[in-house]
Amino acid sequence: MGNKQTIFTDEQLDAYQDCTFFTRKEILRLHGRYHELAPHLVPMDYTNDPDVKVPLALIVNMPELKENPFRNRIVESFSEDGKGNLSFNDFVDMFSVLSEMAPRELKAIYAFKIYDFNVDNYICKEDLEKTLNRLTKEELTPEEVILVCEKAIEEADLDGDNKLSFADFENMISRAPDFLSTFHIRI
């Protein structure tokens, strides 16, 4: 069908279409972007599923991620080893979750992972402080930072352990009117 491309087999493309929110053309375009991140590392022929990972430093230089204060955390959350080295599967997964068509619940799960800096499945006060400092480029005074984090925990923490579990986070973010439109990257 259509143009003859030799990057993926047809079964692979169909499988990707079933597993992500992308269409065939978008998957091929994603592969193009992945390839140009590291042309010597990434093969053009993916029919036999090569095991290639692009390191974190190259991925966070993508124009879509360059200005994002959480870019390192985003890439780390989608990598298998937790260090930010993405295979093509992880790369596609990342942009699929961040695309327009992903449902709210799925985005909430990954948002939780991204903002959990110390990866202990809870968003504790230190995580909140780090988030705030990245958001404001450390322009707030330390007292203000402490105040904001305390208020945030007070608002969202339901079970009283002074940190946000996933249930707390999900309960809070599902009501946010801006969440879906801001947690979105177009590629």
Site for another protein, residues 5 to 64, rule: CB under 8 A: 14-15, 17-21, 23-26, 63-64
Residue from the set 36, 68, 73, 120 that interacts with another protein by CB under 8 A: 68
Residue from the set 32, 82, 103, 142 that interacts with another protein by CB under 8 A: 103
Options 35-43, 53-61, 175-183: segment touching another protein (CB under 8 A): 175-183
Q: Which residue number, 44 or 176, has a Cβ lying nearer to another protein?
A: 176
Distances (CA, A) of 167 to 7, 55, 78, 170, 185: 41, 32, 21, 5, 25
Q: Which of residues 135-154 bind another protein (CB under 8 A)?
A: 135-137, 139-140, 144, 147-148, 151-152, 154
Q: Nearest distance from residue 137's CB to another protein, in Å?
A: 5
* Three-state DSSP state, 86: strand
Q: Are 114 and 74 in contact (CB under 8 A)?
A: yes
Residue from the set 8, 95, 115, 117 that interacts with another protein by CB under 8 A: 115
Interface with another protein, residue 4, by CB under 8 A: no
Interface with another protein, residue 119, by CB under 8 A: no
Q: Are 90 and 73 in contact (CB under 8 A)?
A: no
* Three-state DSSP state, 124: coil
Q: Nearest distance from residue 142's CB to another protein, in Å?
A: 13
Q: Between 71-78 and 88-97, two packed helices, what is the crossing angle to 10 degrees?
A: 120
Tokens 């608002």 correspond to 155
Token readout for 177 is 């009117």
